[in-house]
Amino acid sequence: MLRCEPFSMQTIMAYDFDTLIDRRNSDSDKWRKYADPEVIPMWVADMDFRSPPEVIDALKVRAEHGIFGYVAPPPALTECLLERLQQYYHWSVQPEWLVWLPGLVSALNVCCRMLTPEQAVLTTTPVYHPFLYAPDNMNRALIRVPLALDGSRWQMDFERLEAAVTPQTRLFMLCNPHNPVGRVYDREELTALAEFCQRHDVLICSDEIHCELVLDLERRHWPLATLGEDIAARSITLMAPSKTFNLAGLYCGFAIIPDAKVRHQFNRATAGIVGHVNSMGYAAALAAYQYGEPWRQALLAYLRGSRDLLQQWAANTPGVQLSPLEATYLAWIDCRERGLDNPAAVFERFKVGVHDGRIFDAPPGFVRLNFACPHSRLQTALERISQALDG
Ligand SMILES: Cc1ncc(COP(=O)(O)O)c(C=O)c1O
């Protein structure tokens, strides 16, 4: 099973996450958002770090080839991915279960498209905002069930889920690890969720894009589909190398769909509208999975350092609560005690650009802060946020 191994100093030192790299002239979505060049952008989920050197080299080799015609998934990539799933999760995935995808947001929409117009989708909030839009994009009803907040830790509320589910509910959309609240659901919670889905005969789309970014050394990621044959047969698991290796702009992800009928329905729902993965996406994914593990370990060590900075800051900042950062590089901060209706707008005036929690269907007063940047930049941002809170 994939456990986040304690890191050695040697691993961390081998890579540089400290250099401030100018992304302003790279058409970065993140860095273009704010007209004011002084604003530190900490909103959309990509990192201000260069990808592993082996990925950059593989892309250069692919570019040098110079022919960019239509491509099929490289057999070496499938082989390497199946080995990885076996090694990390003891999950024996068959090659035909894989569906390669140019991004996972499209897959969220495809899952909703699989339903008939009368059927409904269930999800827990706050949640990554495309979960909220996908059902509407496909003219399907969405039932939103708030997660329960225990102190600063968010968890599934099965009483509320039972009360909300209807006979029309056909799909549950799970985010695990959960963006934005940072949870890695434990085996007991996932087992209860699997039973819930079985009892109500619903399919489950399990978005596990952040599964290789577990920061809490006491936790491990359990792919939902590994919990049993019944849940595997009703699951569509979404994963990608994009968050882990900072490849989001190369659009390469995949679904794992063990059941042939569900897979057929999924493929039917993609037909003619979902494009293909491109040659650069495949080349980057292959290099990341083949050679990127030492870099990933170093990244995790660095992000754990960032998490510690955030925790120290939160502990010394009255009236803010940081949710336990079990996974992801997205901090979920509750500023409600400070009485701010829109803390994101206030922080922007102090030159830090974060997401307003309301886009994830959270109550007013929350923000999501992307801390995948050099520690020096994070420290500057936290100082500015403290000034904003005091001002
Ligand atoms: C839970 C989750 N799913 C999907 C995505 C994006 O997927 P893609 O860029 O592959 O469409 C993100 C990006 O932040 C995410 O957090």
- The domain spans of the chain are 9-53+293-390, 60-291
Give the residue, by CA position, lying nearest to ligand 1 atom 10.
103
Tell me the average pLDDT across 347-359: 98
> Mean pLDDT over all residues of the chain?
96
Model confidence at 281: pLDDT above 50: yes
103 lines ligand 1 (CB under 6 A): yes
Residue 7's pLDDT band (boundaries 50, 70, 90)? low
* C-alpha 108 chain-centroid distance: 13
Instruction: Decide if 9-53+293-390 and 60-291 have a common fold.
Output: no
- How would residue 11 be classed by pLDDT, with cut points 50, 70 and 90? low
* pTM for the predicted model, two decimal places: 0.96
Q: How confident is the model at residue 152 (pLDDT cuts 50, 70, 90)?
A: confident
The answer to whether residues 122 and 173 touch, using CB atoms and an 8 Å cutoff, is yes
CA of residue 318 to ligand 1 center, whole Å? 32
Q: What is the Å distance from ligand 1's center to 68 Cα?
A: 26
Query: How far apart are the CA of 213 and the centre of ligand 1, in A?
Result: 13
CA of 89 to the centre of ligand 1 (A): 21
Q: What is the CA radius of gyration of the chain?
A: 21
Tokens encoding 247: 């490849």
Instruction: With beta carbons less than 8 A apart as the criterion, state whether 382 and 313 touch.
Output: yes
d(CA 26, CA 322): 32
Q: Mean per-residue pLDDT for 158-172?
A: 98
Class of the CATH domain delimited by 60-291: alpha beta
- What architecture (CATH level 2) is domain 9-53+293-390? Alpha-Beta Complex (3.90)
pLDDT at 4 over 50: no
**For ligand 1, atom 14: residue with the closest CA:** 45
**248 CB near ligand 1 (under 6 Å):** yes
Which residue's CA is the closest to the ligand 1 atom numbered 13? 45
What is the per-residue pLDDT across 59-82, written as a single tens digit (0 to 9) for each?
A: 999 999 999 999 999 999 999 999
State the pLDDT at residue 306: 98
Amino acid at 93: V
Could you tell me if the CB of 206 is within 6 A of ligand 1? no
Hey, whose CA ends up nearest to atom 7 of ligand 1? 104
Pairing of β 40-41 and β 98-101: unpaired
User: Is the pLDDT reported for residue 3 higher than 80?
Assistant: no
